[in-house]
Amino acid sequence: MADLSTNYLGLQLKNPIVVGSSGLTDSVAKIKNLEAAGAGAVVLKSLFEEEIIMEMEETIHTMTNRHFVFPETMDYMQTVVKEDILTNYLEMITGAKKAVQIPVIASINCISSQKWTSFAKEIEKAGADALELNLFFLPSDNQRGEKEIIEATLEIIAKVKSSIKIPIALKISPYQTNVIRYVEQIDQAGVEGIVLFNRSWMPDIDIHNFVLNSGFVLSSPSDLGNTLRWVSIISGRVICDVAASTGVHDTAALIKQLLAGAQITQVVSTLYHNDLTQIRKMTDELSKWMDENEFETIGDFRGRLSRANSGNPAAWERVQFMKHFRNFI
Ligand SMILES: Cc1cc2nc3c(=O)[nH]c(=O)nc-3n(C[C@H](O)[C@H](O)[C@H](O)COP(=O)(O)O)c2cc1C
């Protein structure tokens, strides 16, 4: 019987399927179900500083409309709203740690540099096993170049690292001028893991009502290729662990990411498309595939087709269609 266990961020996981940050991981009850369904670990829904700010603005707006606002109540209300959301999040961590054996990884997305560290400290105190920093710089800001984005990233890492001891993973966007350079600097800054990639909200346009809509929230299997390319290129170049996120919908995709060098894969959309039984299906099929190929542990084949080991590194970097699409006429 194949051994599916793996190590991620210094944590021992019974298998390489981690349920990614999402609505699937936003309560203790759901996390218990995910453990029962066979997940190797969970990443909690992110605590968004922006959400706290929006909630504060909404509360103040409501109070202003009702003529309840005095300058001294404003400060008080801001603190109450902030503490409410933060307290709920910390209670979820503590509750989850009591309820399950699998590692519980918290996640934050902040705007102000001070919050990255204060949230991180609270989260560590609440008992999270690790922390994923959900970083997103949309490159639509033409004032901020690659250098500024790298500097901002390294500053956040340095601040968070100096304030907590639990392992840190950085979840980044696929939209970078130079992914390798960006990731190598993140690695050198001493993070324990890098998550490739975050998925941004997809806009759409309602052509009948002339309004902006939400596009595809969930990924599809065809989204795998981009992550696969970068996992294979990056995995041989960094010391930190590499987690594959985006487009992992079935066992074949999971195996491909492990062959490309990922330590673990995060899954979200496939659990929405199917249901939680997909986790057990994938671990059972992985085990069967390993037996068939006479692999006893994941270490026996992980990274075998990474860019460094594939014997054809140029293929991973091919971006033009050239001869591959020549027959598509
Ligand atoms: C409904 C939903 C909510 C999500 N919320 C978060 C979040 O709070 N923080 C985060 O880092 N990623 C969030 N994500 C992104 C996922 O963690 C994941 O990176 C993305 O869905 C790609 O993985 P997939 O192809 O397995 O879906 C969310 C995704 C979905 C579909």
Percent of the chain with pLDDT over 90: 69
State the pLDDT confidence band at 129, using cuts at 50, 70 and 90.
Answer: very high
Taking the C-alpha atoms of residue 90 and residue 128, their distance in angstroms, rounded to an integer, is 9
β-pairing verdict for 6-8 and 211-214? unpaired
315 in Cβ contact with 231 (< 8 Å):
no
C-beta 227 within 6 A of ligand 1: no
Structure tokens at 261: 């060098």
One-character DSSP codes across 19-83:
EPSSGGGSSHHHHHHHHHTT-SEEEPPPEEHHHHHHHHHHHHHHHHHTT---HHHHHHHHHHHHH
Residue 81's pLDDT is what? Answer: 61
* pLDDT confidence bin for 30, thresholds 50/70/90: very high
Given ligand 1 and candidates 251, 254, 268, which is best to mutate, with the most ligand atoms within 8 Å of its CB?
268
| Per-residue pLDDT tens digits for 99-116 | 999 999 999 998 777 888
Task: Give the integer Cα–Cα distance in Å for 136 and 126.
Answer: 25
Q: Is 245 in the pocket of ligand 1 (CB under 6 A)?
A: yes
Report the separation in Å between the CA atom of 198 and the middle of ligand 1, taken as the mean of its atom positions: 7
Token readout for 212 is 């902006």
Atom of ligand 1 nearest to the CA of 271: 26
Residue with the smallest CA separation from ligand 1 atom 14 is 22
Distance between CA atoms of residues 95 and 100, nearest Å? 9
Structure tokens at 214: 């939400």
Band of pLDDT at residue 316, cut at 50, 70 and 90? low
Cβ atoms of 108 and 93 closer than 8 Å = no
Whole-number Å distance, alpha carbon 295 to ligand 1 midpoint, is 31
- Beta carbons within 8 Å of 166's beta carbon, 6+ residues apart: 124, 128, 129, 130, 131
* pLDDT exceeds cutoff 60 at 76: no
Nearest protein CA to atom 24 of ligand 1, as residue: 246
Q: Report, as an integer, the average pLDDT of 267-295.
A: 98
Q: Does domain 6-325 have CATH number 3.20.20.70?
A: yes
β-bridge mates for residue 264, sequence order: 243
Least confident residue range of 78-82, 88-92, 165-169: 78-82
SS3 state of residue 85: helix
**What's the CA-to-centroid distance between 309 and ligand 1, angstroms?**
30
200, burial (CB in 10 Å: exposed 0-12, middle 13-18, buried 19+) = exposed
Write out pLDDT tens, residues 210-232.
Answer: 999 988 889 999 999 999 999 99
Average pLDDT, integer, range 30-51? 94
C-beta of 202 in contact with ligand 1 (< 6 A): no
Q: Collect all residues with Cβ–Cβ distance below 8 Å to 263 and sequence separation of at least 6.
A: 6, 7, 8, 16, 193, 241, 242, 243, 302
Expressed in angstroms, the distance from the first to the final Cα of the chain is 47
- The whole-number average pLDDT for the span 162-182 is 93
Q: How confident is the model at residue 146 (pLDDT cuts 50, 70, 90)?
A: confident
Mean pLDDT of the chain: 89
Provide, for the chain, the percentages of residues in helix, strand and coil under a 3-state DSSP scheme, each rounded to the nearest 5: 50, 15, 35
d(CA 219, CA 300): 30
Angle at 114 between CA 239 and CA 97, to 5 degrees: 65
